Structure 1
Amino acid sequence: MDVDNTPTRVEELWFSDSGLVVQAEQSLFRVSGAVLAARSPIFKDMLSFMQPPDAETIDGCPVVRLPDLAIDITCFFRAIFDSSFFESYPAQVDFVDVLSILRCSDKYEVEYLRRRALVHLSYNFPTTLSAFDAQESSTNFDDIQDVDDRTSVCIAVIQLARQTNALWLLPKAFYELATTDNETIRGALQCTTFNGQPATLSANDEMLFLTSSLHISRLEGDVVSFLHCTNRLPCAKGDICSIARLRALAQVQTYISNVVGPIPLDLCELASVWDGLLENCCVGCYVWLQDTHARARQSIWDKLPGICELPPWPELEKMKADALKD
């Protein structure tokens, strides 16, 4: 079947009173060159060259061809020319729009949009355990509220974080991507796109994905070690507390065998061990168990950057603060 390659106007970004036509793939945009030049030093330089007399025009306007995806330029131009399209956090936005806008704003050096996109991603890929816990699987991204395919989402973030040097996004992304399931591993290594946009791991990140999954799976033992530790003394209930902890440990082990993981930071909550411990343990043991578990989770969180071959959290947080400051 023949494919129609005729360039097509993007009507919402075709302003008849503007003097520049931009083409990306087969999409045409008629926009203000002056506005683009004011927002982007790259466009300013690009548009400063005099057009030769025989230069291509459409409706009397000079034509600039861009090598970018049409979906990216559409989102990018909408963010520039429609102030209500891509608002600051905590406004609800589409995840794919964030990717497009970050990709283009980084390339064309539109700093305010780059910061805005990074803020949206940073709230969903946090740098502290408290922020991770506050998320409770919520997101301000309209289009991934119910998406089960976390694999391609995380891969898209990892790829773009590398491109834009937003390295603080990577530990949470690799944690979410971690798996020991053969089908998921195969899917991650074969992934190339997310909703029409690039989503692929580099050769180095493919190896890091596999090794980090292995390391994170081993951390599940660390996070449940408090259930079989006998250091807590004195205990008001003796064997009753010990039996409650063994039952909780069995719950966790059953959960691990039935879930695609690893998920050390969420393991005890998802396995629902705390109700049984609260009901059967003495107060002293229960408080000790909570404190010990909290310290183990913090220790795991602190290890994530190293597992991802990154600097420690304080350095990543400084990088984040520098990138997001006005």
Structure 2
Amino acid sequence: MSARTTRKRARTEAEDAVKQELDAVDASTAAQHRDSDSPFLPTVGECDPRPNDAAPAPERDPEFWFSDGTIILVAKNVEFRFYRALLADRSPVFKALFAEQHPSRLEPIDEHHAIPCPVVPLADCPEDLRHILRAYVSGKQTSFVGATKPSFNQISAFIRLGRKYELNELYEQSRKFLKSHYSNDLEVWAKHTYWEPPNWAGNACIGVVNLARLINEPSILPTALLSCVYLDDLIMNGCRREDGSVESLSDEDLARCFKASRATRQASLAGVMRTFRDTVSPACSKEKSCALVLGGALQKMETHMELLMTGSPFRLELKNLLKRDGKVRTCASCTAMVEERMKKERAELWARLPELLDVEVPGWGNGVPQNGAA
């Protein structure tokens, strides 16, 4: 059997002209981009798209390199071939950026044809950009986060890049997701099983504080900072991002957490002691017995000290301190009184959170819910 040979299709004169024109564009715009004061050059914490001697060769993203894509986005050393119109229609910032002159190169669109694709450098990390492209490629934008349990990396990318590129729906839904967990409503916060949303790392609160600072959302700060406080020494490890970098609190917020660590625990323990003072209910049916049980509850605190020092002061199950042999030993009136005291102490501690954490939160503790607000 003879060897099969293939014949390369001859390039047309029109394609030669396009190639020459694109080569000229490349040469004339390269210097412009090197010296540009573009707002898309990186800020602190962003990836620098500009090449340097040690930069690895660009590589195609295995997930987002579409053979019919019309634009090439370059994040760090990763190239994404995507759809220009899809992003431009949803972002006025992308639309303006794509309208600028950029170097282009011919990319095949099928076996016989190639099209010029503008090559646009972005000061974003590929991991963040990938989350944005996933959100839009399906074409379903009614709910970006509502039907799923988004990861911290996803929410972080949606907020940072959503804000930067004015992807308003993506940004707003992610902002409301954060506010729904890091709530300014005590009843909502107390019902959460974990400090962070499900499947988030325990130190994600560090990144949440930084996001709250970035978008000027003070209502998130008290619970996010409180979560940081209860990290104790682990707070110094920071929060590792998807790209491998480590995100840390600012020096000012770190100092707040160190100062608040003692203050919040003192306030919490003082509230527990007031809850179990041996003054019985006016309607007590067994005054002497109940007074002894209440006094004994304070003595039991020593065996529960680890939980009292490390557990959330708003989720502590203190009713167990009234039990002996598995049963609550106070009368119904005194038991209800203790629960009411505990509720009052928690509400007062909640109202003091901004003060203890040294942050200003307009409307905090005035009983007006804010999480549903725009």
Instruction: Using structure 1 for the length normalisation, give the TM-score.
Output: 0.83
Q: Equivalent residue for 1:31?
A: 82
Unaligned runs of 5+ in 1: none
1:92 and 2:149 equivalent? Answer: yes
Deviation at 1:241, TM superposition (A): 0.8
1:280 and 2:329 equivalent? Answer: yes
The one-letter code matched in structure 1 to 2:59 is T
Deviation at 1:109, TM superposition (A): 1.3
1:188 and 2:232 equivalent? Answer: no
| 8 Å Cα contact 2:87-2:94 kept in structure 1 | yes
Q: Secondary structure at the match of 1:303?
A: helix
Q: Secondary structure at the match of 1:62?
A: strand
Rounded to whole Å, the distance in 2 between the matches of 1:187 and 1:136 is 20
Q: Equivalent residue for 2:249?
A: 201
Deviation at 1:286, TM superposition (A): 1.0
Unaligned runs of 5+ in 2: 1-53, 108-115
Deviation at 1:278, TM superposition (A): 6.2
1:105 and 2:162 equivalent? Answer: yes
Cα 1:87–1:9 shift into 2, 3 Å: same
Rounded to whole Å, the distance in 2 between the matches of 1:252 and 1:299 is 21
- After superposition, what is the alpha-carbon deviation per residue over 1:251-306, rounded to whole angstroms, capped at 9, x for unaligned? 3332224665263222344x832545962111111111111111111111111123
Task: State the superposition RMSD in angstroms.
Answer: 2.9
Where do 1:144-293 residues align within 5 Å?
144=200, 147=201, 150=202, 152-179=203-230, 185-191=232-238, 193-195=240-242, 196=244, 198-224=246-272, 225-230=274-279, 232-257=281-306, 261=310, 263-269=312-318, 272-273=320-321, 275-276=323-324, 279-293=328-342
Q: Equivalent residue for 2:64?
A: 13
The one-letter code matched in structure 1 to 2:270 is D
The one-letter code matched in structure 2 to 1:310 is E
Rounded to whole Å, the distance in 2 between the matches of 1:314 and 1:110 is 32
- After superposition, what is the alpha-carbon deviation per residue over 1:33-78, rounded to whole angstroms, capped at 9, x for unaligned? 2221221121121112234xxx243623111111111111111111
**Could you tell me which of 79, 86, 91 is aligned with 2:135?**
79
The one-letter code matched in structure 2 to 1:242 is A
Rounded to whole Å, the distance in 2 between the matches of 1:318 and 1:241 is 38
Cα 1:159–1:198 shift into 2, 3 Å: farther
Rounded to whole Å, the distance in 2 between the matches of 1:112 and 1:205 is 29
Cα 1:217–1:63 shift into 2, 3 Å: same
The one-letter code matched in structure 1 to 2:208 is V
Q: How many pairs align? A: 307
Q: Secondary structure at the match of 2:89?
A: helix
1:304 and 2:353 equivalent? Answer: yes
**Could you tell me which of 161, 165, 172 is aligned with 1:115?**
172
Identity of aligned residues (%): 22
Q: Secondary structure at the match of 2:146?
A: coil
| 8 Å Cα contact 1:102-1:113 kept in structure 2 | yes
Cα 1:80–1:175 shift into 2, 3 Å: same
1:43 and 2:94 equivalent? Answer: yes
- After superposition, what is the alpha-carbon deviation per residue over 1:150-197, rounded to whole angstroms, capped at 9, x for unaligned? 2x2110111111112222211111122224xxxx54431342524435
Deviation at 1:21, TM superposition (A): 0.3
The one-letter code matched in structure 1 to 2:156 is L
Deviation at 1:117, TM superposition (A): 1.1
| 8 Å Cα contact 1:41-1:108 kept in structure 2 | yes
Rounded to whole Å, the distance in 2 between the matches of 1:320 and 1:6 is 46
Rounded to whole Å, the distance in 2 between the matches of 1:31 and 1:217 is 51
Deviation at 1:240, TM superposition (A): 1.3
Where do 1:59-70 residues align within 5 Å?
59=107, 60-70=116-126
| 8 Å Cα contact 2:269-2:308 kept in structure 1 | no
